[in-house]
Amino acid sequence: MSQKPIDEITGTETTGHVWDGIRELNTPLPRWWAWTLYATIIWAIGYWIAMPAWPLLTDYTRGVLGHSQRAQLGDEIAEVKAGQSALAARTADASLADIRTDPELLEFALAGGRSAFAVNCSQCHGSGAAGGKGYPNLNDDDWLWGGKLAAIETSILYGIRSDHDESRANEMPAFGKDELLAPGQIDAVADYVMALAGNGSAAAKGKAVYDEHCVACHMEDGKGNRELGSPNLTDAIWLFGEGKAAVVEAVSNSRRGVMPAWIGRLDRVTIKQLAVYIHSLGGGE
């Protein structure tokens, strides 16, 4: 070993590194400190053996203790589920109205509903339930099939135009595509529908077409019929877009959305929670 230069002031040898005339001291390390480092290295080796550590090509070393964070999470979820079983059982027995008035069940329903909504409903209705063109906004006070708790639950259970026997369903004819109405008639009835909502004045020609072809579902006053799921044409909410062009498009080609039935996919408790959650968003009746 070659002789390292010694710093005169401290008597400590230096590393030989010099920066702007400043030499780095090679200050002695306490021996216990070095032993601590070796101990951590030994600990690391033990840890590799005991715990999952090394990635392999398709797998990883599992470790002899069999520790797995995923399994741990599974256990924790099972534990939480077990802890919720009493509340879930009470939710199953309670009516929707009872759930709303019981603070404990309500809190459980809102939390469960929020998470179930995020997983199952947000794809179409949006994470804030604001919907989009063709997908109803669940925050507002306009309901195609009714905004009471029971009506919301029915919609979730059996869906809209789903393949379930109990499904809510209706069908508006494609007046233009199927040549039931002439383009001029469609234009006139669109003007009439705009007038119903307070935009423009109604013309007699449009009213005649409306009375013949639309009244059965949308009713005389244009307010629709929730029994049939026919939309209210007099309000400010337009599922398939605002303005006359959108109305012409709807009358000509007919537009309809589909919502699956959730019975069988989600358990009854979750569906109840979803109904209460959606009812709470601001439009519930």
Partner 1 sequence: MAEKPAAPASERAPAAALETVETVDVKAVNTRDVRALYKKREKIFPRRARGSFRNLKWAVMAVTLAIYYLAPWLRWDRGPLAPDQAILIDIPARRFYFFFIEIWPQEVYYITGILVIAAMALFLFTSLAGRVWCGYACPQTVWVDLFLAIERLIEGDRTARIRLERAAWSLSKIAKRLVKHVIWLIIAALTGGAWVFYFADAPTLFVDLLTLRAPEIGYITVGVLTATTYLLGGLAREQVCTFMCPWPRIQAAMIDEESLIISYHPGRGEPRGPSGRGGKRDGLGDCVACNQCVVVCPMGIDIRDGMQLECISCALCIDACDGVMDRFDKPRGLISYDTLANIEGGESTGRARIRWLRPRTVIYGVIIAIVGSIMLAALMTRPALDLNVLRDRNPLFVTLSDGSVRNGYTLKILNKLHAVRDYRLSVEGLPGARIKVIGRDDGDAVFTVRPDRLASFRVFISTDRANLKGEVTDMRLVLTDRQDGARADYETNFRGPRR
Enumerate binding residues for partner 1 (CB under 8 A): 10-13, 26, 28-34, 126-130, 137, 139-142, 232, 235-237, 280, 282-283
> Smallest gap, in angstroms, from Cβ of residue 226 to partner 1?
13
- How many other C-beta atoms lie within 10 A of the C-beta of residue 209? 23
> Smallest gap, in angstroms, from Cβ of residue 182 to partner 1?
32
Read off the tokens for 49.
């053996």
**Cα(186)–Cα(176) distance, integer angstroms:** 7
CB closer to partner 1, 157 vs 247: 247
> Smallest gap, in angstroms, from Cβ of residue 283 to partner 1?
8
Crossing angle of helices 244-253 and 183-196, rounded to 10° = 130
**Cα(274)–Cα(138) distance, integer angstroms:** 12
CB closer to partner 1, 137 vs 167: 137
Read off the tokens for 271.
């569906």
CB closer to partner 1, 92 vs 245: 245
> Smallest gap, in angstroms, from Cβ of residue 196 to partner 1?
13
Backbone angles phi, psi at 16, to 5 degrees: 90, -5
CB closer to partner 1, 143 vs 210: 143
**Cα(73)–Cα(52) distance, integer angstroms:** 16
> Smallest gap, in angstroms, from Cβ of residue 249 to partner 1?
20
What residues have CB less than 8 Å from 137, skipping those under 6 apart? 125, 129, 130, 131, 237
CB closer to partner 1, 137 vs 273: 137
